[in-house]
Amino acid sequence: MKITIIGGGIAGLTTALALNKLGFQFEVYERAKQLNEVGAGIWMQPNALKVLDWLGLGTLVRESGTLLDQVDITNSQLVPFKKTGQQVVQDEKGNKIVAIHRSTLQMILFEALPKDKVKLGYEFNSIDYSNNQLKIYIGDKETVTDLLIGADGINSKVRDSIFSNTSKRFSGQTCWRGISEIGLPKEFQNSGIESWGRKIRFGFSQISENQVYWFAVVKAKQNGTDNIDSIKSELRQLYSSFHPLVLKIIDQTKAEKIIRNDISDLKRLDKWHKDKVVLVGDAAHATTPNMGQGAGQGIEDAYYLANILAGNNQIEQTLDLFESARREKVDYVVNNSWRLGQLAHSDFGQFIMKSIMKLTPEKVMKQQMKKLYLIHDTF
Ligand SMILES: Cc1cc2nc3c(=O)[nH]c(=O)nc-3n(C[C@H](O)[C@H](O)[C@H](O)COP(=O)(O)OP(=O)(O)OC[C@H]3O[C@@H](n4cnc5c(N)ncnc54)[C@H](O)[C@@H]3O)c2cc1C
């Protein structure tokens, strides 16, 4: 079977690695000419790390980032609303969250693949499916494939080629991300922090000895732009009532490295596959980032799709099985993440969230995390 993957982001590369491990023939086409140092940091949770361990890359990922003992939601002065024990964000085997530079993670995945399997500088254009044959057009190339995997992100062209009327859902929030060139005081070195002020949030964690990944989320209209000369002072102004460490993190960031994205997810698709085409990662189910699970869910897709393919030779049936294996968790993540984001930016919502946090026993929190971190090993 010949498999073609469109997109060399986290979901596409992990899918390629999973197929490679199980002995499939595949090729990845990525439109970027090179994998640049784009993006900021990312948190890899134990469910994603279990898949990376299965691929033999978990140790390298852990060594290339920072292990987080805990994740705290705090007030603007960095005082947690509820102090939780370390075990809440760990899985049953003590796997912790890893905070890592996104491009470091992407390069680890890329370099673990045979070089000739990833074609850079190739843009997918369209498909032609007739007489049970799937033809795909990539750049000026035309090729026939047995299975096309669309891992081309939230604005997926592969998705547009099989489904009409899919749409994004704007959350009403925008997010700046950056890498600050400092180390954190000892008490924060192994923590993920999300700090809440009035209708605004600021999160951070150390990703290496001298690098801190941060994100700042506010309510905003869509498609806003920044002025590189004033962005730092504007952020300083927005977060002026926050703990001095937050302002120091902003100060120590190069303005040209600050990225801004409107926060949107993908309106739930009825199906993730059609004929011999299937979507994975953000192309299928982009989520808002409030649960730090978007890439993690793409990584899980890779693991389930490859393993289910290995046990079946009827493609349509395989894709049905894949979708039913993944839907429940993906829906849980997308819906909860959306809700969390909406609550975090209103006074009443923050009050509700703080009450829930205070009232929910640690045992219940741990059960919720267990469900999120669960990965099956039979298919
Ligand atoms: C602010 C923010 C914070 C986040 N934090 C976290 C976190 O802490 N943890 C976490 O797990 N997730 C997080 N996420 C989510 C995560 O970033 C995404 O879910 C993940 O990167 C999606 O990976 P992907 O491979 O599906 O898509 P993408 O990363 O979008 O990759 C798609 C790839 O396809 C390529 N491509 C697109 N179109 C074409 C085409 N026509 N032809 C060829 N190639 C094409 C693109 O160039 C790109 O390389 C966050 C997201 C945001 C916005």
DSSP letters for 35-64 = --S-S-EEEEPHHHHHHHHHTT-HHHHHHH
How many structural domains is the chain composed of?
Answer: 1
Question: Mapping DSSP to helix (H, G, I), strand (E, B) and coil, where does residue 204 land?
Answer: strand
Least confident of 174-178, 227-231, 248-252, 312-316: 312-316
Nearest residue CA, atom 31 of ligand 1?
Answer: 9
DSSP 8-state assignment for residue 263: E
| Cα 327 to ligand 1 centre (Å) | 19
Token pair 């090179």 in the structure block, residue: 34
Q: Provide CB contacts within 8 A for 44, sequence distance 6+.
A: 52, 61, 65, 97, 98, 99, 100, 105, 295, 296
In this prediction, residue 249 carries a pLDDT of 98
| Cα 282 to ligand 1 centre (Å) | 6
Q: Is the CB of 273 under 6 A from ligand 1?
A: no
Least confident of 34-43, 176-185, 200-209, 242-251: 34-43
CB 299 within 8 A of CB 10: yes
At 54-86, the pLDDT tens digits run 999 999 999 999 999 999 999 999 999 987 776
Q: Is residue 152 part of a domain?
A: yes
Q: Residue 11: give its domain's CATH number.
A: 3.50.50.60
At 20-35, the pLDDT tens digits run 999 999 999 999 999 8
Q: Is residue 322 part of a domain?
A: yes
| Cα 85 to ligand 1 centre (Å) | 31
Nearest residue CA, atom 29 of ligand 1?
Answer: 9
Q: Is residue 52 part of a domain?
A: yes
Cross-strand pairs, 194: 73, 203
Q: Is the CB of 296 under 6 A from ligand 1?
A: yes
At 106-116, the pLDDT tens digits run 999 999 999 99
Q: Is residue 212 part of a domain?
A: no
Number of the ligand 1 atom closest to the C-alpha atom of 99: 8
Nearest residue CA, atom 6 of ligand 1?
Answer: 292
Distances (CA, A) of 41 to 95, 258, 267, 315, 357: 19, 12, 25, 36, 26
Q: Is the CB of 203 under 6 A from ligand 1?
A: no
Q: What share of the chain is helix, strand, coil (3-state, %, to 5)?
A: 40, 30, 30
147-150 and 277-279 beta bridge pairing: parallel
Q: pLDDT over 70 for what percent of the chain?
A: 99
**Phi/psi of residue 145, each to 5°?**
-135, 160
In this predicted structure, the answer to whether residue 92 has a pLDDT above a threshold of 90 is no
| Cα 81 to ligand 1 centre (Å) | 31
In this predicted structure, the answer to whether residue 39 has a pLDDT above a threshold of 90 is no
Q: Is residue 196 part of a domain?
A: no
In this prediction, residue 88 carries a pLDDT of 79
Q: Is residue 216 part of a domain?
A: no
| Cα 179 to ligand 1 centre (Å) | 18
Among 14, 28, 30, say which to mutate for ligand 1: greatest number of ligand atoms within 8 Å of CB.
Answer: 30
| Cα 273 to ligand 1 centre (Å) | 19
Q: Is the CB of 176 under 6 A from ligand 1?
A: no
Residue 271 sits in which domain range?
Answer: 2-168+265-373
Q: Is the CB of 12 under 6 A from ligand 1?
A: yes
Q: Is residue 296 part of a domain?
A: yes
Q: Is residue 14 part of a domain?
A: yes
| Cα 39 to ligand 1 centre (Å) | 10
Among 10, 97, 175, 217, say which to mutate for ligand 1: greatest number of ligand atoms within 8 Å of CB.
Answer: 10
Among 17, 28, 42, 285, say which to mutate for ligand 1: greatest number of ligand atoms within 8 Å of CB.
Answer: 42
Q: Is the CB of 178 under 6 A from ligand 1?
A: no
Number of the ligand 1 atom closest to the C-alpha atom of 152: 34
In this prediction, residue 210 carries a pLDDT of 94
Count CB neighbours of 93 within 10 A.
Answer: 10
DSSP 8-state assignment for residue 275: T
